[in-house]
Structure 1
């Protein structure tokens, strides 16, 4: 592989998130960034691996009301790096395919957080639309190991 090929691949990996990501205040499929000063409730989410090779979120599904602003406190209680991405099933599948091609891709999206083991972070989110959405870890192999769940907004 020559230097031009490596440089081109690196530039594409850097450009894809910037081109695909809406602004931090724009509405996305599952809603939009919320105001941390006006949170309706806090939900704690844990990311774990099991002894039999599963990778899971606890809780395994989430349910919210349309218009609700939620503070999602996400903790990586596992031994591997994980991420939490909140989006539509279709958008997560597109993102997942991109991650397969560019596994070291970094994110700067308000609907996602990547955490090392024993780290915590949060996403404040307002669910502006009813429907079914998904939260998932899109690091290659993690989704297939069970690391995804439904989000229902009523």
Structure 2
């Protein structure tokens, strides 16, 4: 079992980018359905990789070029596994990244410095225009978490949502 935080993933991703000239984190080379690694279980402060066969429900999240998510507030129960179906109705690439508020802010700052940074974790999905992606996540700890689009300018424009995990 691997343990990650979005910040470590971002730092690791920037190291990979430096080692791989021409790599692009947000280019068309990303499969819109990625975001769920088949065998790797990632543990974070806000949960762990979810098993798609144990998803209690599916929540559709729409993204648009108005720099908003719809819905932008979600409530789940501790222990619940949710399949997020993420649809990009816009004309530009968007992403959904789940994390704590502090982690997302730090990752957004890193993305400003390294806009082509390569990164891929099961709590994020990069979705090309007109496509959809999926994240399956189990929320193991109660609290308030966030999801955001960390493409430079999108987070700052307010492309952020809230996930409340109750007991």
TM-score normalized by structure 2?
0.76
In the other structure, the counterpart of 2:113 is 101
Q: Which runs of 5+ in 1 are unaligned?
A: 1-10, 17-22
In the other structure, the counterpart of 1:13 is 14
Q: Distance in 1 between matches of 2:76 and 2:125?
A: 20
Paired residue for 1:90, among 94, 102, 116? 102
Report the secondary structure of 2:133's partner residue.
strand
Q: Which runs of 5+ in 2 are unaligned?
A: 1-11, 18-38
Larger mean Cα displacement after TM superposition, 125-134 or 103-112: 103-112
Q: Distance in 2 between matches of 1:88 and 1:12?
A: 19
Instruction: Name which one, 1 or 2, has greater alpha-carbon Rg.
Output: 1
Query: How many residue pairs end up in the alignment?
Result: 134
In the other structure, the counterpart of 2:158 is 146
After TM superposition, what 4+ stretches of structure 1 lie above 4 angstroms from structure 2? none
Q: Does 1:66 align with 2:88?
A: no
CA contact (8 A) 1:68 1:126 kept: yes
Q: Does 1:33 align with 2:49?
A: yes
Instruction: For residue 105 of structure 1, report the CA deviation from its aligned partner.
Output: 1.0
CA contact (8 A) 1:34 1:69 kept: yes
Residues 108 and 143 from structure 1, CA distance in 2 versus in 1: closer, same or farther, beyond 3 angstroms? Answer: same
Instruction: For residue 12 of structure 1, report the CA deviation from its aligned partner.
Output: 7.6
Q: Distance in 1 between matches of 2:110 and 2:40?
A: 20
